[in-house]
Amino acid sequence: MSPIPPARTPGGRARVHIKALITEAKHGAETTPAPAQMFFSGMLSGLAAAVEILDGGTAEGSMETMVNRLSAAIGQAYLDGQLPPQPDPPIGTEAPAAEADVKRVIDLYEQWVKAGPPRPGTSIAREWDRRLAELRAAIHGPADQTKEQ
């Protein structure tokens, strides 16, 4: 990706507007609840990338810089003890459910292979709808099927 030519940013007008947006967003990010702060963080990262591109950088370079900055911020938050603790998953509750889901999907796949292609004259759209419904039922399992009825 080529850098934006200086002629498209006369007098640094775009840069001034972006810096004003960044300043206002920083103020807003400090005084808002956590979900909005995450939005502002992403917006500020995007604006920082836009400034780097306006200064002659490439989009690829800006994205790489953004990843490095976010990694450093997460690492610093960890070192400062600011990250919330991650709850441990209950032992033995997730694996059997996941294994059952995978088994149901594999069984459905084997059933489809055994059945072969649809009969001639069968609507492909209806066949796909039927198979997608079967796949959804296999993924969600028998417990979710009873809730929907």
**In-domain check, residue 10:** yes
Residue 7 has what pLDDT?
47
User: Do 104 and 73 share a structural domain?
Assistant: no
Q: Which of 28, 51, 80 is the last residue of a domain?
A: 80
Residue 145 has what pLDDT?
45
pLDDT digits (tens, 9 = 90+) for 30-68: 676 666 667 777 777 777 788 788 788 888 888 888 888
pLDDT digits (tens, 9 = 90+) for 72-120: 877 888 788 877 776 666 665 555 667 778 888 889 888 988 888 888 8
**In-domain check, residue 86:** no
Residue span of the structural domain in which 24 resides: 6-80
Instruction: Residue 24: name the closest of 9, 5, 43 by CA.
Output: 43
pLDDT above 70: residue 8: no
Instruction: Give CA angle at 118 (104, 114), nearest 5°.
Output: 45
Whether the model pTM is above 0.95: no
